[in-house]
Structure 1
């Protein structure tokens, strides 16, 4: 296939490029094509802007991973605007290009996040969950709602749209786990707040394979949760991580400390969801790493 890809230089994007490049031709959207070519390889085609395209008739599929990192800086007003616009604008541009194409791509796979569900406490949720009015004010839901809506507008007779609501991606060289490792390796890790908030996680290899699964299965359409079928509490996650590293993990981080230090962004750590991938499993996808301990051992030992 000839695939147009955004967000290819990110933690997941780089792995997905490696998985797809043996069989597919990739055209990569990048703000810095020369730098991306050094990172990802000169064999791919590169675009610096979607304005270079009049239509998408030459593409078979789109994979949309573009988005400003959500947890690298405090959520100032400008940072929140950057988080939103970096996701919304590109997604809506892609949809408009699909709508103006005579023979548009047959598949559009766009990322989202389990933050769509908002803070759910102990209640498990799957793809069928309807968000209540109480969740509508949460920033993470607002970001994901419009992000998804922008992509789903492209769904039609010629193009199928798949949305992956991605959970905590486990990888030793990137993502949240890599940021946690230094403290845990020093024996300074521990549960956050009361430790009961859900952590819906997925091994990096399973997420890459899920993108490939949706790309190659034309019957797949709609929302899919990109997280393993065994979400755990933060308390269980930290205990399992400490055990895997053979380090103690009992130093708690009080919620008020995070609220003072991180402001509104603290919700990413204090709140959570127990997300189940029902439609993902129903589509025939098989997780290679369905248990947290096995996933962490593969990455860290």
Structure 2
């Protein structure tokens, strides 16, 4: 079986994600009319139409798994490159294209031709074109495994988000002629604390060193990124950490990654050059392959995540830490 898309925390990778995992949604994902250049993992159900995953043109960008869905997948019109693993049921529309697809539940083709190199299913087969080639192959129940413990990953990334939020500020914030200017002071790690209302206009980074990692902790349950400008955001070096957010709205273009493990991320258009970790994803924003490669110290050890598993249901009840001044 191909290697899982999510892995144990690795100090060399601040977000602890395997190579090329661009979008991780712990619950549901609904998307159309766009694409994710790298890998995608969804803990519950996914609905995709006019969509492509794991490609920057033609052919798989990453070998192995391209899309993993823990629950059910509804897919019509698009291309899913690499291995597609579906823990639940797969329902197809027209114009579908896979490399290899494995279904842990039922496969309903709705009379559509399945474009794939290999097709397997463990449940029931229905409405398959009588001339389908290759023919779907039935496998033993339980033999299709996603390889990801989504519950453990939710706990791990939630703890990671809370830990990043405790880091002391090393940068300064000023409003310069209507633009929120974040001054990194040439630090190797520039940490900023903002409240959600401060993100109501253009944002600019200033005084970055060649290797500066920018960590922007944003407080508030509802965060609207709007359609603003984001100047001097270096590829792979900027992370928005949203430890409290349950609703995030995005439209526009940005070069940054997002750590928002409690949030439903609603995107209407635009592009994100970075990695995204959310509870739910909905919308048509394109996600380009640009891994977060910043250096952030003072993170929990893996044993801490294991202990936190027992308290998953109480994460939302943890008292909010004292806010730091921006």
TM band (smaller chain): under 0.3
Greater share of helix: 1
Greater share of strand: 2
TM-score (norm. length: structure 2): 0.26
Larger-gyration structure (1/2): 2
